[in-house]
Amino acid sequence: MIFDYETMRLIWWALLGALLIGFAITDGFDLGVAILLPFLGKNDSERRVIINAIGATWEGNQVWFITAGGALFAAWPMAYSVAFSGFYFALLLTLFALFLRPIGFDYRSKLPSRKWRSNWDIALFVGGLVPALIFGVAFGNLLKGVPFYFDTDMRIFYTGSFWALLNPFSLAAGLVSLSMLIMHGAVFLQIKTVGDINRRCKTVVLVFATLTLAIFALAGIWVTTIDGYQISTEVLPNAPSNPLAKIVYKEPGLWLANYARFPVLWIIPGLAFIAGAVTILLSKIERPGLAFITSSLTLTSVILTAGVSLFPFLIPSSSAMNSSLTVWDASSSLATLKIMFWVTLIFLPIVVAYTTWAFRVLRGKITLEHIHQNDHTAY
């Protein structure tokens, strides 16, 4: 039956992934552009062009991030609790970095002082760099396992530290995230700009697309040597949520078990390499619109590769393996998932339609002449 507990859990696992992918594609290029701001903009005029390329859409793009957080809270409350307990300082750091974005966009051009504007450029750079890196580090830590456990009263105890999150494998995952968002941002800037900035973007796409694929390949080899998790007891996908009602074991290479069981899934990481290579080609021959599509496909494939590897785990526990949270034992009630499903079915298409409309209306090139003509609304 389409609305049984098992199906609704799978639907919400897919919806959470879709929201994260939507955030990576839309707000991801904003972060990438902010990171590139001090490097691609050689003077104040060029930096104003770069900022105005994303100035009209960056706020709307963050809806995907907020919605993903809300979906995690409502559909997977135990996963939300563990994530915001274990990653508390990392998320707080991300939040403070994101605070720099609205005030940076709004106040940078309020004064003509070179020092004033330079400081805000640095703030916008930090506001792009920190979230892009930490989101990747978080995914890396999911594959490594998060040190937490539940006691018999289902209270959460986190046994790690902020610095332990910065382990080598997770930092490599962070570099994948950082490099692919820079690539994505450069492709978007190539769409929106002309002249010198446009030409510099092609070099950035080449360098960071290549770097993304190289580190992604390295991480793929690396993941075969780290411990993956597997459930050894019977899975009851329609049972009430109880993460302690299972036995989990781990051993190296288990994160590839789903790919061994369903070889067709290898298409997903393979597509990341194909789409990344095609992005480089399309950028070079000055087809940035198509390059943005293939760049988005690269991001989607990288995220899906991690999601498929983890399935059915949401947050594996390295402290007490049986406390690991999975799709089958960490969700809200069936009634809650059903209500949320219908709400999402109504409002998600509206968000997608509005986002599509906004980008279509604002699809023109940004030039210095355009900024001067609209100086009362430009950044």
pLDDT digit string (tens) for the chain, length 379 residues: 568 899 999 999 999 999 999 999 998 999 999 999 999 998 888 899 999 888 777 877 788 888 888 889 999 999 999 998 888 899 899 999 999 998 988 888 888 899 999 999 999 999 999 999 999 999 999 999 999 999 888 889 999 888 889 999 999 999 999 999 999 999 999 999 988 899 999 999 999 999 999 999 999 999 999 999 999 999 989 999 999 999 999 999 999 999 999 999 999 999 999 999 999 999 999 999 999 999 999 999 999 999 999 999 999 999 999 999 999 999 999 999 999 999 888 888 888 888 888 777 777 777 766 665 555 555 6
Residue 252 falls inside a structural domain:
yes
Q: How far apart are CA 321 and CA 74, in angstroms?
A: 24
Residue 378 falls inside a structural domain:
no
The 3-state DSSP class for residue 315 equals: strand
pTM exceeds 0.75: yes
Residue 379 falls inside a structural domain:
no
| Torsion over CA: 256, 257, 263, 265 (sign) | negative
How far does Cα 277 stand from its chain's mean position?
Answer: 21
Q: How far apart are CA 363 and CA 289, in angstroms?
A: 10
Q: How far apart are CA 97 and CA 305, in angstroms?
A: 27
Residues spanned by the domain of 82: 5-373
Q: 250: alpha, beta or left, given left = phi > 0 and alpha = psi -120 to 50?
A: beta
Q: Residue 198 corresponds to which amino acid?
A: N
Domains held by the chain: number: 1
